[in-house]
Amino acid sequence: MPDYIPINCNFHDRLEALATLRKQCQIVYQTADGKVIETLDTIADIYTKNKEEFTVLGSGEIIRLDRLLEADGQSYLEMDAS
């Protein structure tokens, strides 16, 4: 897997807010092999391991944060622009 690329702080803050609210939302992410997955779920947790950040969805799915493309209608690209 490629080296971890830290995500935008604003997007990280948004993810933490969603985790706190346990709000069900549309989540779009890319798998290691490039497949784009869209799911309706909650963000249960965000954690760091070996200098990489991850989110755990309510379903138990674990996603490295630099693979997360969108959460609750907010794209990581939109958050970079703000």
Q: What's the whole-model pTM score?
A: 0.86
In a domain, 55, yes or no: yes
Confidence of residue 78 (pLDDT cuts 50, 70, 90): low
In a domain, 21, yes or no: yes
In a domain, 2, yes or no: no
- Cα–Cα dist 8/31, whole Å: 19
**CATH code at 35?**
2.30.30
pLDDT in tens, 1-17: 689 999 988 999 999 99
In a domain, 3, yes or no: no
In a domain, 4, yes or no: no
In a domain, 16, yes or no: yes
Structure-derived torsion over alpha carbons of residues 77, 9, 42, 74, reported in degrees to the nearest 10: -30
CB-based contact 69:30 (threshold 8 Å):
yes
Domain count, the chain: 1
Which domain covers residue 71, as residue numbers?
A: 9-81
In a domain, 70, yes or no: yes
